[in-house]
A and B are shown apart, each in its own frame.
Chain A
Amino acid sequence: MPAEDMGNLTRRIRYVFAVSSVIFLVVLAISPFKDYRREWKQYKRSYIRFAQSRPDTKRLTADYSPEIDQIWLPAMNVTDRCTTCHQGITQPTLADASVPQPFRTHPPIPHNVRDWGCTTCHRGQGPATEVAEAHESTLAWEQPILPTRFIQASCGTCHLSNLPQTPQLTRGRQLLAELNCQGCHKLPGIETPAMRGPDLSSIGTKVSREWIYKWLKEPRTVTDKDGNVTVNGYETEEEPRMPKFRLNEAELMALSGYLSVQKAKPLSAYRISPGVIASWSKNPELVPQGELRFRQMFCSTCHSLAVTRAGETKLIGGDIGPELTKVGSKVNPDWLIAWLRDPESYLPHTRMPRYGWSDEDLYKVTQYIATKLVDSDLLTNVPNLDSPTDEQIQLGRRLFLEKGCASCHAIVGLNPQKDFGPDLSALGAKNASELEFGSAKIPHNLVSYIQAKLQDPASVNPAARMPHYSWNPADLDAVTTALLSMKGAPATSALQNLVIPRKEVAFHPTGSFAEVYKRYKCDTCHKFNGYGGDLAPELTYEGSRAQRQWLIEFLKSPQTLRPTLILRMPQLNMSDKDAATLADYVSMVLQNPAVNPASTDAKQFTPAMAALGKQLYEVKYQCQSCHTIGASGGYVGPNLNNAGGWLTPAWIQAWLKNPQALVPDTIEPRRNFTDQEIDALTAYLMTLRAGIAPQKTGNTPSEAAVAQGAGQ
Chain B
Amino acid sequence: MTPRKWSAALVCLALALLSGCRRQVPTAKADPLLAAYDSEPDWNDSQKTIPLGYQQAQGKRVFYQQCVWCHADATPAGPSNRSNLTPPPPMLNDGATLNRETDEYMQNIVTLGGSAMGKSAMMPPYGRVLTAEEIRSVIAFLRAIAQPPYQPSGRSGSQDSAK
Contact = CB atoms under 8 A, between A and B. Distances in A.
Contacts of B53: 97, 107
A620 B28 contact: no
A107 B121 contact: no
Interface string B126-163: 10110001001000000000000000100000000000
A151 B57 CA distance: 12
B27 to A, nearest CB: 8
Interface stretch (A333-341, A580-588, A630-638): A630-638
Interface residues of A, number: 62
Contacts of B26: 132, 136, 138
A637 B68 CA distance: 13
B125 A148 contact: no
B127 to A, nearest CB: 9
A435 interface: no
A670 B128 contact: yes
A30 B18 contact: yes
Interface string A657-675: 0001000010101111000
A20 B33 contact: no
A690 interface: no
A700 interface: yes
Contacts, number: 136
Contacts of A562: 77
Given A16-B3, A670-B129, A23 B31 contact: no
Interface size classification for chain B: 35 or more
B124 A447 contact: no
Given A20-B10, A133-B25, A636 B54 contact: no
A667 B125 contact: no
A27 B120 contact: no
B7 interface: yes
A443 B14 contact: no
A501 interface: no
Interface stretch (A162-170, A533-541, A603-611, A679-687): A162-170
A509 B6 CA distance: 94
A147 B7 CA distance: 51
Contacts of B70: 625, 634, 636
Interface in A4-40: 12, 15-16, 19-20, 23-24, 26-27, 30, 34
Contacts of A135: 28
Contacts of B6: 12, 15-16, 19
B77 A564 contact: yes
B14 A23 contact: yes
A634 B84 contact: yes
A233 to B, nearest CB: 10
A164 B61 contact: yes
Contacts of A165: 58, 61
B33 A149 contact: yes
Contacts of B79: 564, 635, 700
Given A447-B33, A622-B120, A671-B125, A633 B84 contact: yes
Contacts of B65: 665, 667
Contact of A132 (B25, B81, B129): B25
Nearest to A27: B14
B81 A635 contact: yes
A167 B61 CA distance: 8
Nearest to B122: A625
A669 B84 contact: no
Given A27-B17, A636-B70, A669 B77 contact: no
Interface in A140-182: 145, 147-152, 164-165, 167-168
A148 B36 contact: yes
A566 B66 CA distance: 20
Interface in B1-32: 3, 6-7, 10-11, 14, 17-18, 21, 25-29, 31
A165 to B, nearest CB: 6
Contacts of B126: 669
A107 B81 contact: no
17 contacts: A19-B6, A27-B18, A133-B25, A148-B54, A149-B38, A165-B58, A562-B77, A564-B77, A565-B78, A621-B121, A626-B81, A633-B84, A634-B69, A634-B81, A634-B85, A636-B70, A667-B66
Given A131-B28, A566-B78, A672-B125, 15 more contacts: A15-B7, A16-B7, A19-B6, A19-B10, A24-B14, A132-B26, A147-B37, A148-B36, A148-B37, A565-B77, A622-B121, A625-B81, A625-B124, A633-B84, A671-B125
